[in-house]
Chain A
Amino acid sequence: MFAGVALLFVATGVFQSWNLSLQILIIGVLSSIMALGVNMQWGYAGLFSTGIMGSVALGGLAVVLVSGQPVPEGWAAGGPRLLIALAFGVLVIAAAVYLYNRLAAGTARRTAMILLLGAGFFAYRAILDPAVTAIEAFNPATAGNIGGLGLPSIVAWPVGALFAAAAAWAIGKVALGLRSDYLAIATLGIAEIILAVMKNEDWLARGVKNIIDLPRPWPVPYEVDLQADPAFVAQAANWGFTSVEASTILVKLLYLAVFGAVLLVLIFFSERALNSPWGRMMRAIRDNEVSSAAMGKNIKSRHLQVFIIGSAVVGLAGAMLTSMEGQLTPSNYTPLRFTFLIWVMVIVGGSGNNWGAVLGGLLLGWLWLIVENAGPVAMGYLTMPLPDGVLKAHLIEAAPHLRLITLGAVLLLVLRFSPKGLLPEK
């Protein structure tokens, strides 16, 4: 199976270009990491969460906050006040949860909750708003945000995982008790809320104005630096490459090595976890909640645990993606690409099998990007007999969207004829 996928990438390299093939492979590796995370939630524990996009976006946000350029003026303008406001918000919610648990159900509790949350909201806005105005007032054309810490990119990755895990804890506390379809709808909505916050809170990461110039992770160099390095140019000429070609390929190979190493480490631990008593317990809970509960397993906290771990892995991949792209573009996060595509990868690859998730990630990552690149070309051949005109132009223009149809068809076929996926769970 893996050899077959490798062949696809080699064929892409030979027939299209090695640059494209490597590019797709890197995205495939990142998608595989995300698929590993989803596989933990769905494959191990049977949780259908459609909030993957939220975890990916939070990972990206972590990169901005940790390794973005510092904006000391912006921070000085309102940073501390902002922190106080956020802490106050958390405090109000904690107080509300405490009260909710302490008071008996009834009118008294309802009134208390409404009063507390209502007053809390207005007080929170009163503290927060001046800080936001102050921060966004500083140099809005290039900054207007609180800035990052300016730390190396690699430091941001675990922070991304941590952000996603923290969000997953809160989401899990609220939504994991729900029945399967409700959980799916609730998580889909929460991911949209996370994204809405990232798009609109300009002080955080400049919203839709985007953050650029995020540093690359060690040890990946910049192409321009390589091309300016005479030793590198000489070496490239020695192998018969132009310096531009050699530098882009070297950069991609280094990314591949870094991301591949992370993937291998994650697979090692996932395999160990899945084949440990913990993994057997998770699968037992998935297959029969009632009997596992009767054996003394705490279903709720185990679900919460695996939900958090899975989200953290997705957040890690999200952080890696953002630091590779070097910029955070909130409008790029769409549920089709970052939630449902990852789902299809897991299901097609084989739910419950770590290697299956990786296979699905590489295979569908390839399919997704190759249809985008090769689709218009293929459509060009297909429409050759047609006269030039509006229809032909429209068909060629629409060809990249064919990947949605392809993907849906692949998902439906796999679910129908091989519901366990390409590499079934052992």
Chain B
Amino acid sequence: MDILNALVAFLNFVFIPGLAYGSQLALGALALTLVYAVLRFSNFAHGDTMAFGTMWVILITWALQSAGITGGVLPTALIALPFGIAITCAFVLATDRAVYRFYRTQKAAPIILVIVSTGIMFVMNGLTRVIIGPAEQDFADGARMILAPNDFKAWSGLAEGLALKQTTLITVIVAAICVAALFWFLQSTRTGKSMRAYSDNEDLALLSGINPERVVAITWIIATALAVIAGTLYGLDKSYRPFIYFQLLLPMAAAAVVGGLGSPLGAIAGGFIIAFSEVFVTYAWKKIVTYLVSADMAPDRLLQLLSTDYKFAVSFAILILVLLVMPTGIFKGK
């Protein structure tokens, strides 16, 4: 029995990675669910919006670095982030003006909007690949580790090391700030209230003088900002590859649906549920169990429920389970 080492191993390999990944998914799922709540369709271009925005953040980071401006201890990407958001917002608003608005005024069926969003997805995906290429990019700089495993071992005298990457901490803090700001915005400001009103009942909202185009524009801006932040955090924490971002659409959509499509609170809960289940199911528990049981009972197998490559399968299994058992999700979406 060695509970302390087991606990440290659990924190290091399960809890902290799950927390960081969950924060990234939660931000992405929030953006997806906001678009769904106000514009009433699932945006298939969401993953590529993240890739597109993160690409601009990377390019600006490089430009800043070559101009000699860095974030010091913090990653330079954080300085580049607002510019990346601004460029991506401009692009997304232009697509709304040129493409989506036509179908909105026609009151087209949601499925048509989904198909239209796949068209946008193609264009954004192509632009990203043409501008930065499909290869992997590393743009993290600044201090790498807040807590290095060896320092922790020396300090605590335990056999297990605990690592805390700076990007992980930044991810969690930035995600918390974004979520708090978003909820304050939705609950307390006039614009946020008009967004919720529009989402609940479009006709009544129009009658009470809410400008629909303004609500839609603000929704796009918030959703895009969240997507670019989520994409940048994911890229800093792991690595940037446009194809991976397209695939992230799946767990993010799963998170939004599990929480209840259209419910912001649900998107956050869903993000963490998906992230933790992915880590739980694909982690090899051998190490932790070995600490917990007596030496002669130590397992000789990996104790891994599914191989790591089935991460997406896990999120989808949960998605399908939720759709079958409670189709509106945990927080009663639409």
Contact = CB atoms under 8 A, between A and B. Distances in A.
Q: How large is the interface on B (under 10, 10 to 19, 20 to 34, 35 or more residues)?
A: 35 or more
B74 interface: no
Given A189-B250, A193-B316, A404-B122, A343 B115 contact: yes
Instruction: Give the most central of B119, B127, B316: most A CB within 10 Å.
Output: B119
Contact of A408 (B119, B250, B323): B119
A412 B257 contact: no
Contact of A404 (B99, B115, B123, B305): B123
Given A397-B133, A415-B116, A181 B42 contact: yes
A184 interface: yes
A343 B42 CA distance: 17
B126 A411 contact: no
Contacts of A416: 99, 102
A188 B119 contact: no
A289 interface: no
B40 to A, nearest CB: 9
Contacts, number: 132
Nearest to A335: B246
A401 B134 contact: yes
B123 A408 contact: yes
B313 A196 contact: yes
A398 B129 contact: yes
A62 interface: no
Given A398-B133, A401-B129, A404-B129, A340 B312 contact: no
Contacts of B114: 48, 180-181, 184
Q: How large is the interface on A (under 10, 10 to 19, 20 to 34, 35 or more residues)?
A: 35 or more
A200 B310 contact: yes
A403 interface: yes
Interface string B310-332: 10110110011001100100000
Q: Which applies to chain A's interface (DSSP): helix, strand, loop or mixed? A: helix
Contact of A185 (B110, B126, B257, B312): B257
Interface in A166-194: 174-175, 178, 180-182, 184-186, 188-190, 192-193
Nearest to B44: A184
B312 A192 contact: yes
A368 B114 CA distance: 22
A151 B313 CA distance: 32
A281 interface: no
Nearest to A184: B114
A402 interface: yes
Instruction: Give the most central of B112, B126, B243: most A CB within 10 Å.
Output: B126
A404 to B, nearest CB: 3
Which 10 A-B pairs have CB atoms at the shortest separation, nearest pair first? A408-B122, A404-B126, A405-B126, A408-B123, A189-B316, A401-B129, A411-B119, A181-B42, A412-B119, A180-B111
Interface of B: 41-42, 44, 99, 102, 109-112, 114-116, 118-127, 129-131, 133-134, 243, 246-247, 249-250, 253-254, 257, 305, 307, 309-310, 312-313, 315-316, 319-320, 323-324, 327
30 contacts: A46-B111, A48-B114, A48-B115, A175-B323, A178-B323, A180-B109, A181-B114, A184-B114, A185-B253, A185-B254, A185-B257, A186-B316, A188-B249, A189-B312, A189-B319, A192-B247, A192-B313, A197-B313, A200-B307, A335-B246, A397-B133, A398-B133, A404-B123, A405-B130, A407-B126, A408-B119, A408-B122, A409-B119, A412-B116, A415-B112
